[in-house]
Amino acid sequence: MKRQILMNQQGDEIQVAIVEDGRLAELLIERPDSSRSVGDIYLGRVQKVVEGLQAAFIDIGQEQDGFLHFSDVGTTGEDYRAMLDEDFEEEDEEEDESAENEPNGNVAVPPAAIKQGPRDNGNIAQTANKQETAIAQPERRQSYTQMIASKLKPNDSILVQVIKEPIGTKGSRLTSDITIAGRFIVLLPFGEGHIAVSKRIINRRERRRLKTIVRSMLPKDFGAIVRTVAEEQEEALLRTDMEILLNKWKQIEESVKTAKPPKLIFKDDTITASALRDFLTEDVTEVATNSPVIHREALNYVRWAAPEMEKKITLYKGRLPLFESYGIAKDVESIFSRKVWLKSGGYLIIEQTEAMVVIDVNSGRYAAKKEQEENSLRTNLEAAKEIARQLRMRDIGGIIVIDFIDLLDERNARKVYETMKAELKRDRAKSNVLPMSDFGIMQITRERIRPSLMQRMGDECPACGGTGVIQARQTTIHQIERWLRKYAWHTKRPFTKLDLLISPTILEPLRSQDMQPEWKWFLQHLLLVRIKVDDTLRSDDFRFFIRGTTQDITQEYSSL
């Protein structure tokens, strides 16, 4: 597979495109008003602890408080032993590398490598004085919850890291298990000496070599995860990467000493540096940018991290825009389109809702042809590949429900399921797929660490509020007249002067009635209403004020 990394700068906006075989696979965007925060480390202040939710809300200076679940609260091995009143053997670390699958190197560390709560291993806790059963498993979980709740108190300071950006009304998801990602190594400052190696490094001798090197330079009580790109790398490069990470941690420690919460302590790498860190592998054939500053930054990075890649870094000077020159400009524009065409003539309809994303697969021109089962299978297989690509490209997360074309043969439905699973393996974000149901429905959950590209690049429609449908203007007029009836009935104050604010789109049908609305309402309710146009109001909205005041009385009488 041919892979390219394109870095396009337009004013204050930076776009990083990952291109696979000439097609856009992923798009990262950073703007001054929506900078990336995953990986950032804050000194936060505990606002409240909700034991029922097993979580705490942490003020880190953002609009909404961050969410810290008890399972993301780091605690030491001694704490666990004291809590469980038992000794347990430390397991040999299970090598894993979530750093390969999570953007910006935010590592989900294996339970054996970093403490994630008491182990459900069925052992019986024994006290020092009694040789009998001490705690049942549900009581252990309760003890864990109470232990964490007792550690976190309102107004306490706590060092936390962002693992998911704010989405909608939800604040950032936080963890106190700090990780700092490098090119070859992910440093775990509270790792208690555990070292894990990527599963993708399969040579046992190489795994042992890497562990030995990392262990020789790792400070006491620190942990580390060795990334896939470290395979066959010289020891000097690994030491340089470790020194950079340790210097970052030292700066964090120094900053914490004088900081007052809430305060940003550490900002993760820039979008260009993190893209090179996470995507620059042997299969990358070119890294192109139209910015001299980014070009220098990329050269400085690869000269120490991957000297053999230096010749692949190019400064684009063509007349056409960078993305257009590489043929992906249409792919970027298609992110806002709800309809995606397939080569077979079928198409997808992608609808974003509050709860989930719904994708409908349509056969298009194939519908009228013979061999319906074969054609439906062909369209569904093509759709599965394109859907997996669209999920990556648009960065769609959460629950995804796909309505495929009905298939009569269960073996064909299985083929679609296997194709979808295979395509999603190329995605860095974790996902779960369920087989197609009898109704042709497939359900997917995809890891969501930030709002989708459409949410970040677009604004909510002021007319429809994002629904795609606006209320009929006559319906709004009926609502205004019902409001006036309720107001007149409940106040019983004739000749009251009111100001009515409406959208310009409502004024035309309101004035086109047989009688002018002001006279009509006066004769019906003995109310003196003056109509004003407000460009900020939607067509389904209106406001009533007592004339001469700023008192908005709309809601007071709408709910009666």
CA distances for 374 relative to 61, 384, 453, angstroms: 56, 15, 35
Query: To which CATH superfamily is domain 40-80+145-266 assigned?
Result: Nucleic acid-binding proteins (2.40.50.140)
Strongest mean pLDDT among 104-108, 191-195, 302-306, 322-326: 322-326
- How confident is the model at residue 139, as a pLDDT? 52
Q: Give 556 or 498, the one with higher predicted confidence.
A: 498
CATH, domain 335-457, list 2.60.40, 3.40.630, 3.30.70, 3.30.1370: 3.40.630
- Could you tell me which residues come within 8 angstroms of residue 457 by beta carbon, excluding any fewer than 6 positions away? 29, 335, 336
Q: Give 467 or 356, the one with higher predicted confidence.
A: 356
- How confident is the model at residue 150, as a pLDDT? 75
pLDDT at position 89 over 60: no
CA distances for 447 relative to 161, 283, 294, 312, 443, angstroms: 18, 25, 29, 32, 14
State the average pLDDT for the chain: 82
Q: Is-contact 196 227, C-beta < 8 A?
A: no
Domain range 3-35+270-329, CATH architecture: 2-Layer Sandwich (3.30)
Q: What is the DSSP letter of 406?
A: P
Q: Is-contact 301 273, C-beta < 8 A?
A: yes
Residue whose tokens read 């020159």 = 325
pLDDT at position 112 over 70: no
For residue 103 the two structure tokens come to 């953007």
Residues 545 and 182: their CA atoms lie apart, in Å, by 59
User: Exposed (0-12), middle (13-18) or buried (19+): which is 194, by Cβ within 10 Å?
Assistant: buried
Residues 263 and 283: their CA atoms lie apart, in Å, by 40
Q: pLDDT tens digit string along 114-162?
A: 333 333 333 323 333 434 444 444 455 456 667 777 788 899 889 999 9
Q: What percent of the chain has pLDDT over 90?
A: 47
- How confident is the model at residue 445, as a pLDDT? 95
Q: Residue 527: which of 554, 489, 498, 559 has the closest Cα? A: 498
Q: Whats the size of the chain, residue-wise?
A: 560
- How confident is the model at residue 122, as a pLDDT? 36
- How confident is the model at residue 512, as a pLDDT? 87
Pair type for strands 284-289 and 357-362: unpaired
Q: Is-contact 504 535, C-beta < 8 A?
A: yes
Q: Residue 66: which of 209, 183, 182, 163 has the closest Cα? A: 163
Q: pLDDT tens digit string along 234-257?
A: 999 999 999 999 999 999 999 988
- 294: β partners: none
For residue 489 the two structure tokens come to 């009935």
- How confident is the model at residue 114, as a pLDDT? 31
- C-alpha atoms less than 13 angstroms from C-alpha of 460 in its C-beta half-sphere: 11
- Could you tell me which residues come within 8 angstroms of residue 491 by beta carbon, excluding any fewer than 6 positions away? none
pTM reported for the whole predicted model = 0.70
pLDDT at position 311 over 60: yes
Residues 118 and 139: their CA atoms lie apart, in Å, by 12
Q: Is-contact 5 279, C-beta < 8 A?
A: yes
Residue whose tokens read 């997360």 = 397
Residues 53 and 346: their CA atoms lie apart, in Å, by 45
Q: Residue 223: which of 265, 256, 193 has the closest Cα? A: 193
Q: Give 55 or 464, the one with higher predicted confidence.
A: 55
For residue 383, the tally of other CB atoms under 10 A from its CB is 28
For residue 326 the two structure tokens come to 């590489």
Domain 473-559 has CATH 3.40.1260: yes
| The Cα angle at residue 187 between residues 262 and 248, in degrees rounded to 5 | 55
Residues 84 and 78: their CA atoms lie apart, in Å, by 10
For residue 203, the tally of other CB atoms under 10 A from its CB is 11
Domain range summary for the chain, segments of one domain joined by +: 3-35+270-329, 40-80+145-266, 335-457, 473-559
Q: pLDDT tens digit string along 338-373?
A: 899 998 888 999 998 878 999 999 987 655 455 788
Q: Is-contact 391 446, C-beta < 8 A?
A: yes
- How confident is the model at residue 370, as a pLDDT? 52
